[in-house]
Amino acid sequence: MGKKTKVAIAIAAASAAAWAGSKALSNPQKRENKPALTYEHPIVLAHRGGSLLAPECTMEAFELAAGLGVHGFEIDIRLTKDEEIVVFHDEYIDRTSNGSGRIADMTLFELQQLNFGYNFVNLDGYFSYRDQPASIITLRELLDRYPNKLVNIDMKDEPDTYEGGLMPSKLWRLLEELGAEEQVVITSFHDEQIDRFNLYAQNRVALGAGVGEVRKAYTSFTSQFGHLYNPKVDVFQIPTKYGVLPLDTPHFIHFLEKLNIPVHYWTINDATEMKQLIQNGARGIVTDRPDIAMNALFDSEA
C-alpha cells in the first residue's frame, strides 16, 4: 500500500469518525408550531395582492385576490417620513405611480395624493386604472380589513438606514396593538432585521428565512452534517433556485419538513409549475396570478 493511499484512508477514517461523533452528540431542534402556519393543505398567497391582475399593493388588488379565495397575501412594507408603515415594495414610487420620489422622504398624506394604479397595464394591454385612482394603503388598514388572512410581511427598508432601524420596533408595536401576532409571518432578505424584530417578539410571531438562513440550511443539506442544522425561523419562502442551485427538490423540502419548517415558493405564475411544486411537497405558492393558482390548487387536490 502506497503512502498516498494510506493518507487517503486515514483522512476518510477521521472524517467518518467526526461524522459519527457529531451524529451521536447532535440533537436537532424542531421549530415549535406557530398558529399562523397551521394549515392542512397547500396555500395560495397573492403576491402584493396579485400584481398582474390589479395595481400591486393597493386595496383593489387585495380585494380582487380575496374574492378569488386566496388564503393570504405576500407583501412588502416601508416606513414613511412621518413613520407610518405602508404596504409597498420599491424604494422609489416612480414605477407604480404618477408621482416620483422616495417613500421614506414623503409623508403618508403626500403619498395618498398619488395614483398608484397610474402605470398598471391589465392583461389586455390597457392602462385600466388611470381614470379610477388606486391609493397606497397602510399595514394597519390591510390587517384590519382581512383579520382572517395569513399575511407574509417582508421588511424592505435597509437595516443601516434610519427607517430600517426603526422598522422592527414599529412593526412589533403595531402587531401587538392589533392583536395580529398569530396572523402574520415576518421576514426580510436581511437576517439581522429578522433578529432585531424577534428581540421584541420573543418567538411569539412566525419568522421567515432571510438569505443567510437559506444559505446555511442548503449548505447543511448538501453536506454530510445536515443533522447539525438548527433553524432560527419557522418557514422558508424562497425562489425555486438560488443562483444555479435548485431549491425545489423533494429532498430539500423533506429536509426542512423534518424540522417542522414548511416551504413556500415565489413568484410562481405557471399552473404546471405550481402543481409540480405541490407534488414535491411545497406548502405554499406565492403568485401574481391568484386566479391561476386557485385553479391549480383545486386540480391538485382533486
Q: Give tens-digit pLDDT for 9-26.
A: 444 444 444 444 444 445
Q: Please report, rounded to a whole number, the percentage of residues in the chain having pLDDT higher than 90.
A: 83
In sequence order, which residues have a C-beta less than 8 Å from that of residue 176 and are 6 or more positions away? Answer: none
Backbone angles phi, psi at 226, to 5 degrees: -60, -25
- CA distances to 46, 139, 290 from 126, rounded to whole Å, are 22, 29, 20
In sequence order, which residues have a C-beta less than 8 Å from that of residue 69 and are 6 or more positions away? Answer: 294
User: Strand 245-246 to strand 241-242: parallel, antiparallel, or no bridges (unpaired)?
Assistant: antiparallel
pTM for the whole thing? 0.89
Q: How much is the pLDDT for 225?
A: 77
Residue 49 per-residue DSSP state? T
Q: How much is the pLDDT for 30?
A: 87
pLDDT exceeds cutoff 70 at 179: yes
Give 191-237 as a DSSP string: HHHHHHHHHHHTT-SEEB--HHHHHHHHHHHHSTTGGG---S-SBEE
Cell numbers 426603526 label which residue?
166
* pLDDT per residue as tens digits for the range 77-119: 999 999 999 999 999 999 999 999 999 999 999 999 999 999 9
The predicted model gives 131-148 an average pLDDT of: 96
Q: What is the C-alpha separation between 269 and 282, in angstroms, rounded?
A: 15
Instruction: Specify whether the CB–CB gap between 43 and 131 falls below 8 A.
Output: no
Q: How many angstroms separate the first and last alpha carbons of the chain?
A: 62
H helix or E strand, kind and range, residue 18:
helix 3-25
Instruction: Specify whether the CB–CB gap between 154 and 184 falls below 8 A.
Output: no
| Cell, residue 79 | 416606513
Report all structural domains of the chain as residue ranges with CATH numbers, in order of start.
31-92+139-301 (3.20.20.190)
Q: What is the C-alpha separation between 203 and 74, in angstroms, rounded?
A: 20
Handedness of CA 163, 167, 173, 177 (dihedral sign): positive
| Cell, residue 283 | 406548502
pLDDT exceeds cutoff 80 at 302: no
Q: How much is the pLDDT for 227?
A: 85
